[in-house]
Amino acid sequence: MKPDKSDHRHGTLKKSPVRFASVEFNKIDPDATLPAKFDRLLKTIELKRIAGGKMVALKMHMGKGLGYTTIHPLFVRMLIRHIKEAGGEVFITDVGPSHRGDGFGGLTSRDRGYSEDVLGAPIYPVSGVFDKYYYSKEVDFKTLKEIQIAGHIHDAEAMIDLSHFKGHGVSSYGGALKNIAMGCVTAKTRRDMHSLHSGGSGIVWDRDLCDHCNKCVEECRYKANFFNDENEYEVTLHNCTYCQHCIEICPNSALSLESRNYL
Ligand code: SF4
Ligand code: SF4
């Protein structure tokens, strides 16, 4: 995506205008529905400048499995129609297979109602069906030396991020920013970024000091920690708020918070 120079002043990005449509439904009238408001809102956006004459990547997070709290296909279809009316060509894109091998987003989106015939644009996994279409960029962070930027995102002439809003255990809210940072790279880079937390969570367990009293698990109000089948301490990254109560309660100082793998 090439930055639009008109958006820059003295090397910094200009603040974007924020528009919103209220979900309040105060009269029985099709014009008062959220899709109707979304349609009016889209007419106020300079889509001709953003998308006109360009190949636009519409970056989405289309969920996986039985997920249904993503953006309804009706809204996606409406945006695509507006992009086309503004003179743009568009494809939808989301991550392909995850490092766990469970395909999601751009590969299984049809299961949740996102398909080309419904939306009016093709759907491509960001880095190809095999997650091997990417551009490599060297970086020099402490434990991260390469970023694999998804090929279809890199090649697009413009990008529109159409993402839903949701809670996130670590960063409070996931959404547009996460959709770009974690969603526009290969599964390997996503895994590398998640691994920046030492041991996957940042909480380090010393098995030699632990007597398995279970106080740490009882203390966690977020049900984020547990002992696995091998009796090893584990933390579920998405549930943990780093309140450190488990660390404080441990009578043997078997838990600590380390940041050795952070950037
Ligand atoms: S509180 Fe400490 S000693 Fe007890 S189970 Fe947890 S880590 Fe082990
Ligand atoms: S830091 Fe807090 S939220 Fe995370 S596992 Fe420990 S007690 Fe639970």
Count how many domains the chain has. 2
Residues 131, 9 share a domain: yes
Please report the pLDDT score of residue 169 as a whole number.
57
Task: Please state, as a whole number, how many other Cβ atoms lie within 10 Å of the Cβ of residue 79.
Answer: 24
Structure tokens at 263: 């950037």
Atom of ligand 1 nearest to the CA of 227: 5
User: What pLDDT digit, counting tens, does each position of 167-211 carry?
Assistant: 665 566 666 777 888 889 998 898 788 766 545 557 889 999 999
164 CA to centre of ligand 2 in angstroms: 27
- Domain boundary among the residues 167, 194, 221 is at 194
- Flag residues of the chain having pLDDT under 70: 1-12, 97-107, 167-175, 195-201, 259-263
Which of 161, 177, 194 terminates a domain? The answer is 194
13-28 residue pLDDT tens:
778 888 988 888 888 9
Edge-to-edge strand list for the sheet holding 158-162: 123-125, 89-94, 55-60, 158-162
In a domain, 241, yes or no: yes
Residues 34 and 82 occupy one common structural domain: yes
Domain end among 194, 213, 238: 194
CATH value at residue 222: 3.30.70.20
Q: In the prediction, which pLDDT does 7 show?
A: 46
> Ligand 2 centroid to 223 CA: how many Å?
8
Alpha carbon of 239 to ligand 2 centroid (Å): 8
Nearest CA to ligand 2 atom 6: 246
Ligand 2 binding pocket includes 219 (Cβ within 6 Å): yes
